[in-house]
Structure 1
Amino acid sequence: MTTKENFSAGSQQRTSESLLKDIRRNTKRIFTSEQKVLIVMEGIRGEQSIAELCRKYGISDSTYYKWNKEFIEAGKARLDGDIVREATSDEVKELRQENIRLKEALADLVVRYDVVRPLQNPI
């Protein structure tokens, strides 16, 4: 193999390696909060090592530990009462019914306005 052939083969290999790195970098997975909780809970159970768990889900150790820290801090904040609880299903149901009533009242007022307005300003 000549020097020129050796050089081009080496540069081609470097190019393919950089291409693979770019592909890996651009195919970053986005995990939902539910997925993160499941992964952290799996790590807390301790059935697998953290390294095995991270390989299984294709995340780095530092990502797992960051999620774990966020999970623990959120749990502490909730237990301390720092986080306001969201509406219950009954509250949501009541708010939806009130929303419907208000929309109907607004529609009624708009219809009345459209009827009265031409009478007040005859052409």
Structure 2
Amino acid sequence: MESQKQVKQTPENYIKELRRKTRRVFSTEQKISIVVEGMRAETSVREICRKYGIAESLFYKWNKEFFEAGKQRLSGDEVRQATSDEVLELRKENARLKEALADLMLRTDILKKTMQYLG
């Protein structure tokens, strides 16, 4: 079976597979370093991409992701996440309110039936 796959493989597919296997993988720190280097504007984006062997589109993708992550992190100051203790307290309060509502609904039904009986 393996030999059949190699026989049917076109040169284009072989090149794609070879590129995929030899593709460079950049760490998060490397990506940040490259983006920050681009933000310094000491050299053009084209030169930076040539230096690291990446496409300009990839640089701009990393740049966008970098700013989106920063924006998301900074917005955390405005929208605070609830702690587990707060969540627990809110769940307890929710259960108490549900019980109170159920009790009031039961009393309302009893009053309605009493009024129908008397009325």
TM-score in terms of structure 2 length: 0.49
Higher relative CO (CA 8 A, sep ≥ 6), structure 1 or 2?
2
Bigger Rg, structure 1 or 2: 2
TM-score in terms of structure 1 length: 0.48
